[in-house]
Chain A
C-alpha cells in the first residue's frame, strides 16, 4: 500500500511540469519542494530528536554561500557545489552541536538563535570571501546538457526537476532515519534524555549526528536556493524569518512524520502566496492568524492528525 503511494507520488512529481506549464505555478511547485527540503531538515532535529532550533537559517545560508563561492571562486559546478554546500553545513554543525548540546531544552533553542546571528555577522563582515552586505551574484549558470540536449536555465523546468530530486532524496533520508537505530535513539532522547543516557545512549553523539544530518539537508536546500535565485546576501539567507518558516512548515505538516514537511510546505507556501496576491497589505497578519489556529487546534500537525485518525502512531517499529 505504502509502496503504491510512493510510486504514484514519484510519477506525479515526474509529470507535474508537463501538465502545469504556467511559469507562476511551476515557480510555486519549486518553492513548495524547496520548503519541503528545509522542513525535512528541521524535522530531523526538531521532530525526531525533539531539539528545537530557531537558527536553522545558519545552515541554509552556509550551504547557499558555499555553493556560490565554490562556483564563483573555484569554478566548481553547482551540480557538485550543492552537495558540497550541504557537507560544509554539516561540518560547521559539528562544533556547534558539541557546544550547544551541553545545554538542554529552551537553553539549547536560545543558543541556536545566537549561532544564526553569529554566522550572519561573519558573512556580513568577511568581505574578502562573501562580498559583505553586497552579496554574491551569479549571472550565468554553467552550460549543462542532458541526453545531448543543452538545459535551458531561463526556463524553470530544469530547476523543478533538480529540486524534485533533492526533495525525494530528503524524504528518503527521513524514511531511512525513522527505521534506523539512530532514529530510535533520537525518539528516546526526545521522550526523556535522562532515561536515554541511563540505557546507554551517548546522547551528545546522537544529537550531534542528528544536527549534522539536519544541517546537511538544510545546506543542500540552501545551495539550491542560491542557484535558483542566483543571488545571496546575508539578510536574504540568514534571516530569522527563514528559520521560523522552517519551524512552521515542520510543525504544521506534522512533527516526527516522514511526509509531514511536504504537507506543511504545500499548505503554507500556497497559503502564503495566496494571501500575498489577494491582500496587498497585511498578508502576514492572515498568515499569522492561520498559524495560531493551526497550532492551537492541531498541535500534532496535519499529517499527525491524519495518522491519528487512521490509528497509526509514531513508534520505534513503524517509524
Chain B
C-alpha cells in the first residue's frame, strides 16, 4: 500500500458494558475512497465520532499521516485536516448558503473577501451557485447534503468523513452525489464514506470495510466484499430481495 492517510489501530469504544467498536483496525490509502458499511448499530458513526474528536476512544490509536488524533477536540482535528459531515444534516439554518461555507473558509483565510471567494468556488463545484443567498433552512434535503459537504471542503481537508451523504436522496440525486464524491477524490482529498445505499458505494469506492457489532468482518475491493460469506450473512443477505436494494 502507498502512504496511508489514516491508520486506525485496535480502536475500541465502550459505552458502559456495551462495546460499540471493538479492536477495529484499518488503514486508508492516500487519495482513495473507502466505503465503511455495516448493518444499523454496527458502530460506523461511532468510528467517525472518534476519528473527528467528537468522542474519545476507550482504547486504540488513530493516526493521520503518522500523527495521533487521540485526545484532540473536534475543532483541533479539523485544523489538522479532518473534516466531517453529519448523518442528520446540521447546517447553520438561519444563515445563507454563502455564509455557511464562508464561515468554514475562515479557518484558512483571515480576510472575509478571500474566505468568500473560496466559498464561492466550492459552492459552484457543489452545484449550489443558484442558491447562494438562500437560507440553509429553505434548501431541499439533497441541497442541504451538498451544503454539508461544501462546508466540510471549505475547511481544506486532507481527509473527508462522509456520514451517509446519500441518505434520503432519490436515484438521480444519488448518481449526482456519487459523481461529486469521485470528483472531490480526484482533487486530492482522501474520503471515508459511511453509507446504506450500497449500489452507489460499491460503484464509487476503491475499497470497502465492513463492520458488524463494532468489529471488522471484511476488508477488500467491492467485488471481494460482496462475495464474502460473512458479509452476505451479516448484511447483504437481508437486502438481497428486489426493491430492497435502494
Contacts and interface: CB of A to CB of B under 8 A. Distances in A.
Interface stretch (A14-22, A37-45, A169-177, A185-193): A185-193
A194 to B, nearest CB: 6
Nearest to A204: B73
B75 A315 contact: no
A203 B78 CA distance: 13
Contact of B75 (A187, A197, A314): A197
Contact of B103 (A188, A194, A202, A314): A188
Contacts of A203: 75
A202 B154 CA distance: 17
Contacts of B107: 199-200
Interface stretch (B30-38, B93-101, B164-172, B223-231): B93-101
Contacts of A194: 54, 74, 86, 90
Contacts of B83: 198-199
B162 interface: no
A187 B151 contact: no
A152 B22 CA distance: 76
Given A185-B103, A202-B73, A195 B95 contact: no
Interface string A301-319: 0000000000001111100
B103 A184 contact: yes
Contacts of B78: 197-200
A199 B154 contact: yes
Interface in B20-42: none
A187 B95 CA distance: 9
A104 interface: no
Nearest to B78: A200
Given A181-B106, A184-B103, A315-B99, A198 B84 contact: yes
A194 B152 CA distance: 13
Contacts of B152: 198-199
A50 to B, nearest CB: 11
Q: Give the interface size bracket for B toward A.
A: 20 to 34
B46 interface: no
Contacts, number: 75
B57 interface: no
A70 interface: no
Contacts of B154: 199
Interface string B104-132: 10110010000000000000000000000
B102 interface: yes
A195 B92 CA distance: 8
B245 to A, nearest CB: 31
Interface in B32-91: 52, 54, 73-76, 78-79, 83-84, 86, 90-91
A314 B75 CA distance: 25
Given A184-B103, A316-B102, A317-B99, A201 B90 contact: no
A192 B74 contact: no
Contact of B106 (A184, A191, A314, A317): A184
B74 A198 contact: yes
Contact of B93 (A192, A197, A199, A200): A192
A300 to B, nearest CB: 11
B33 to A, nearest CB: 20
Q: Which of A191, A192, A199, A202 has the most CB of B within 10 A?
A: A199
Q: Which of A181, A185, A191, A317 has the most CB of B within 10 A?
A: A191
B205 interface: no
Interface string A146-178: 000000000000000000000000000000000
A198 B52 contact: yes
A27 B86 CA distance: 53
A317 B54 CA distance: 29
Contacts of B155: 199-200
A54 B198 CA distance: 49
B90 A192 contact: yes
A200 B79 contact: yes
B95 A315 contact: yes
A317 B115 CA distance: 12
A199 B78 CA distance: 6
B103 A192 contact: no
Interface in A261-294: none
Contacts of B151: 195, 199
A239 to B, nearest CB: 34
B69 to A, nearest CB: 14
A203 B73 CA distance: 10
A315 B110 CA distance: 18
Given A184-B103, A184-B106, A185-B103, A202 B75 contact: yes
Contacts of A197: 54, 73-75, 78
5 contacts: A195-B92, A198-B86, A198-B152, A199-B78, A200-B75
Given A191-B91, A194-B86, 8 more contacts: A187-B103, A188-B95, A195-B90, A197-B73, A198-B86, A200-B78, A202-B76, A315-B99
Interface of A: 181, 184-185, 187-188, 191-192, 194-195, 197-203, 313-317
The 8 closest A-B pairs by CB, nearest first: A191-B92, A197-B74, A200-B78, A199-B104, A200-B107, A316-B99, A195-B90, A192-B90
